[in-house]
Amino acid sequence: MLDWTDRHERYFLRQISRHALLYTEMLTTGAILHGHRERFLQFDKAEHPVALQLGGSDPQELAICAKIGADYGYDEINLNVGCPSDRVQSGRFGACLMAEPKLVAECVTAMRSVIDIPVTVKHRIGIDNRDSWNELCEFVETVARGGCEIFIVHARKAWLSGLSPKENREIPPLQYDVVYRLKQTYPQWQFILNGGLNDLPAAQAQMQYVDGVMLGRAAYHDPYLLSQVDALFFNDMHVVPDRCEIVGQLLPYIEKEIAAGTRLHAITRHITGLFNGLPGARAWRRTLSEQATRYPADIDVVKRALAQVKCNVL
């Protein structure tokens, strides 16, 4: 979810669900240690609970970044061992690390030694021709010995060459049964199912087999599906704001961010799917897409877009 689940997206999604655990986009250790740390790591306290997702393979660097993340107030540190892109592989992190379970375990141990919040690992069910059940078990057992107790499993293998990241999300077949088997084999650890879950009924149906589910692009493109998450998964029956009310709640945040120098499009690009399937949705998307990129675009663009979907929240 690089360039997708930034702080603006997470603040927006938190207006829809109170309880869903939100994840940052993957941040490399190099970006945190040598880049604009505040820009990468700052977030609004309203985003809690939120996990920091790291990419890296050096235990010491990951430990430093995990401590920084914990000091910033993140609720979980997640190590990404699932991304198959060439750029990620060239830095020796992401899915290629599934071939080095001992190193992943060392990374987990190093991070856990300096922080008290959970350290989790997101991974695939295999890579290339290293996709046997025994190899997957070896990976999970080794990483667990390093101190990981929560595994987020994308239920597809990854091909490290020959397929693009998009193709790696679509071509290797989903094998949910492999994740179910992990949970059955290792009931002492938590397994979160990821991959191919496009609606809440499908996600809820998996809960009889695993400890949790992760939604990615489905929640991004149709964010209002999260409006039922609190009731279905957390037994919180509070009244969920409708779409118009959600934008109304977001307006003060947008005004504050614009005053601080944020471009309007950096925020509104995340909310174009909010009215999907409703009258005026196309005009809503077009207004935001065409006008929010102009400088200096301000809150009036959002108000004009709201008029397209007959919202009166001002």
Mind listing the domains of the chain with CATH numbers? Answer: 7-234 (3.20.20.70), 243-308 (1.20.120.1460)
Q: Given a cut of 60, is residue 68 above it in pLDDT?
A: yes
- Determine the pLDDT at residue 86: 66
**Amino acid code (one letter) for 169:** R
Q: Stretch 267-275: mean pLDDT, rounded?
A: 97
| 144-155: pLDDT as tens digits | 999 999 999 999
Q: Stretch 272-292: mean pLDDT, rounded?
A: 97
Of all residues in the chain, what percent carry a pLDDT higher than 70?
97
Q: Given a cut of 80, is residue 227 above it in pLDDT?
A: yes
- 160 vs 268: which has the higher pLDDT: 268
List Cβ neighbours of 162 (8 Å cut-off, separation of 6 or more). Answer: none
pLDDT band at 4 (very low <50, low <70, confident <90, very high): confident
Q: Stretch 117-143: mean pLDDT, rounded?
A: 97
Coil, helix or strand at residue 32: helix
Q: Given a cut of 80, is residue 87 above it in pLDDT?
A: no
Asked if residue 172 has a cis previous peptide bond (ω within 30° of 0), the answer is no
- Determine the pLDDT at residue 314: 58
Cα–Cα distances (Å) from 14 to 22, 77, 229, 291, in that order, read 8, 19, 11, 25
H-type helices in 146-277, by residue range? Answer: 165-168, 176-185, 200-205, 217-221, 229-234, 243-259, 264-268
Q: Given a cut of 60, is residue 90 above it in pLDDT?
A: no
- Determine the pLDDT at residue 222: 96
Coil, helix or strand at residue 152: strand
pLDDT band at 92 (very low <50, low <70, confident <90, very high): confident
Location of structure tokens 């969920």: 240
- Determine the pLDDT at residue 156: 97
Q: Stretch 32-59: mean pLDDT, rounded?
A: 96
- Determine the pLDDT at residue 166: 85
What are the backbone angles phi and psi of residue 180, rounded to the nearest 5°?
-60, -40
- Determine the pLDDT at residue 299: 95
Which pair of structure tokens corresponds to residue 178? 């492999």
- Determine the pLDDT at residue 169: 86
| Alpha-carbon gap, residue 196 to 173, rounded angstroms | 10
Q: Stretch 179-187: mean pLDDT, rounded?
A: 98
**Catalytic residue flag (residue 65):** no
- Determine the pLDDT at residue 205: 96
Q: Given a cut of 70, is residue 223 above it in pLDDT?
A: yes
Q: Given a cut of 90, is residue 233 above it in pLDDT?
A: yes
Claim: this prediction has a pTM higher than 0.75: yes
Catalytic residue, chosen from 83, 96, 107, 311, is 83
